[in-house]
Amino acid sequence: MVKPFRWLDLHYNQSDSFQPANTAYNIYLQLLPNPQSKGKDYGFSLNLFDGKLVAKVNRYQTVQDNSRSGPTGGSFAQRTFRFFFDVSTPLANYNPATNSFGNGNDPWDLEQEGTQWILAKNPGMDVEAARQAAIKQYLNPVGFDSAYIDRVRQLGGNGFAEINTVTSTGYEFELVYNPTSYWTMKVTAAEQKAIDSQLSQYMNQFFAKNLPYLQGITDPTTGGNWWTTTIGTSTTGAPYTWYIANIATTLSQASVNAGKPRQQTREWSFAGTTNFRLSGITENKWLKQVAVGGTIRWADKAAVGYYGITDSDGVIRSLDSNRPIYDKARYTVDLLASYNLRLFNKVRARLQLNVTNVLEDGRLQPIAYNPDGQAWNYRIVDPRQFILSATFDL
């Protein structure tokens, strides 16, 4: 902090920190580092007209490395494992009593399906030997061996995560003006840009390398394509449908958003607050105990998704980074009124009525959209609230 003049302050701050996080690994079983953050902010403050007008401007930048809060989380590793093996137990659908396999728990996972293919070709073969043969034939090509699978089951699905780099920059403005001792006003504004400046590439790398292999696997007992075949009564469909619904769409959206503002981030926001005590204009014993005020808030539009690109067959398989879907700008109005009084001529008290979000009747607000522009996720916006409170000065 530097104060070159009585009415001017200059400030600068720089910091770095880290956040101890739970031990976690990426899909290649590499240990992930702790989230780290570096930040700096600087600006100036003005104090004018004997303190009646105070203004502050601040510029900030924060870079968070190894963040685990990005669009691709640990669930992606768990979803990917489901193509190859059950994370909890080997051959989860196998019943030793009947020497048969059921159709639950992703019956198309390659550890189980491959075991059944091996057994079909080698009747009487030990099940565990068949499982090991299936791992060697169908899982080794993507880098998963028995030791890898055992380690994943030891860690559990929650032992995996993805990391991202998030960069936040912006300005903060604050103006406080008190024309009289009875009237106060405050205006704030902020610009915020939060960008996924570097998304983890572990999952993209994995599927870029291994997707052609998965798409080409053939069921040796039928000659059919494993990737597009629904096994038995599986509620998760074929491997292909699981991939599109639970991995490809979100990975595509995350990749599209790389280098762009994070979804749900509103770039600009403003707020204005005022409070006026009627004792400044009247000596009426009742009215001069009254104060009234309110707040108006406005927030910029926010991207909540992207429109899709329709392929020649009419199917949307990717997102258009140049066509974001926006939630419109929003504003709210709050009002308040207070009254000062004395109880029993001794205890000072204040009654205050706050009405929050005066113009709101209550609704569902979309917060996420499908690539066709249809909302699929909502949050509940409460209607206006009336809050009556009492404070006492004993």
Distance CA 277, CA 165 (A): 48
Which residues does 325 contact at the CB level (< 8 Å), separation at least 6?
Answer: 303, 304, 305, 306, 307, 369, 373
Q: Give me 193's structure tokens.
A: 């840009």
Which residues does 392 contact at the CB level (< 8 Å), separation at least 6?
Answer: 343, 347, 348, 349
Are 299 and 264 in contact by the 8 Å Cβ rule? The answer is no
Query: pLDDT tens per residue, the chain (394 residues)?
Result: 999 999 999 999 999 998 888 888 988 899 999 999 999 999 999 999 999 999 999 999 999 888 877 656 667 788 888 889 988 888 878 888 777 787 766 788 899 999 999 999 998 899 999 999 999 999 999 999 999 999 999 998 788 888 888 889 999 999 999 999 999 999 999 999 888 777 777 888 888 899 999 999 999 999 999 999 887 655 567 898 888 878 887 777 666 666 677 777 899 999 999 999 999 999 998 999 999 999 999 999 998 888 888 888 887 777 787 888 999 999 999 999 999 998 888 899 999 999 999 999 999 999 888 888 899 889 999 999 999 999 998 7
Tell me what pLDDT residue 365 has: 93
Counting other chains too, the contacts that 179-186 makes at CB distance below 8 Å and 24 or more residues apart are: 179/52, 180/280, 181/280, 182/276, 182/277, 182/279, 182/280, 182/281, 183/274, 183/275, 183/276, 183/277, 183/280, 184/274, 184/275, 184/276, 185/272, 185/273, 185/274, 186/272, 186/273, 186/274
Are 85 and 78 in contact by the 8 Å Cβ rule? The answer is no
Are 234 and 106 in contact by the 8 Å Cβ rule? The answer is yes
In 156-227, which ranges are continuous DSSP H helix? Answer: 202-215
Are 369 and 381 in contact by the 8 Å Cβ rule? The answer is no
Say how many C-beta atoms besides its own lie within 10 A of residue 84's C-beta. 23
Secondary structure of 336-375 as H, E, C letters = EEEEEEEECCCEEEEEEEEEECCCCCCEEEEEEECCCCCE
Say how many C-beta atoms besides its own lie within 10 A of residue 345's C-beta. 5
| Cα 112 to Cα 28, 92, 102, 136, 378, distances in angstroms | 22, 8, 10, 13, 38
Domain regions of the chain by residue span: 1-68+165-200, 71-162+204-262, 264-394
Q: Give me 373's structure tokens.
A: 């522009």
